[in-house]
Amino acid sequence: MNKVECEILGLSSSASTGGAYALLLKEVYGNRRLPIIIGPPRPLTHDLLKILIENLGASLIEVVVTELKDNTFFAKIVLEVSSLSNEIDSRPSDAIALAIRMNAPIYVNDSVMDTASFLPSQEQPEFTEESQEHLDLPDTPPVTSSSKEAKLAALQEKLRLALEVEDYERAAKIRDEIQRFSGSN
């Protein structure tokens, strides 16, 4: 399995989505972004897991977002105990929260990045520490070409704009359309 190392670029929340968040991952050695919509946080669970892992003498090696099936992301937590590696199925939000607490690298399967990521527009500013909790993305002109690449770019732009206004339901539908379109190529 090919993996793409990612880092957290931003996090956005909206009262209108019942406490849901959009987590934005960015390739460490590239420009693609991957939005993952996650539910409300459950305090202390990840801290408990961190303490449990450490007390058992294990190490968190990495977390990997492995799949995207039926609009749902899947992940694995990779632990090492006594020189043995063990992969544990997880929700991406839980795996990433644990990786943050344990300073472990975050990876995304290359096929997931190919399916669900987007490239930011040229005008998009990089996030700074002050703007980490916002997904303020500038407007860009629509793509009018009829090529397959241009249609895909237009869909990615619609996804970006839906995320900008925190319309996660619409973003999920656009992501599905991108998957259908990419699958037909």
Whether this prediction's pTM lies above 0.85 is answered by: no
Give me the residue spans of the domains in the chain. Answer: 3-115, 134-183
Tokens for 22, please give them: 């959009």
More confident residue, 90 or 146: 90
Any idea which residue has 């934005």 for tokens?
24
pLDDT tens digits for range 100-154: 889 999 999 999 999 888 888 765 444 444 433 333 333 333 333 335 666 777 7
pLDDT for 1: 87
Two tokens, residue 177: 């359309």
In whole angstroms, what is the distance from residue 151 CA to residue 108 CA?
25
The tens digit of pLDDT for each residue in 2-50 reads: 999 999 888 776 555 566 778 889 999 999 999 887 766 555 678 889 9
pLDDT tens digits for 71-87? 889 999 999 999 999 99
pLDDT of residue 63: 96
Give the chain's end-to-end CA distance (angstroms, integer): 22
Report which of 37, 35, 46, 44 is spatially closest to residue 19, judged by C-alpha positions.
37
CA nearest neighbour of 153 among 162, 161, 142, 166 = 142
Considering the four listed CATH numbers 3.20.20.70, 3.40.50.970, 3.30.70.260, 3.10.690.10, the one that applies to the domain covering 3-115 is: 3.10.690.10
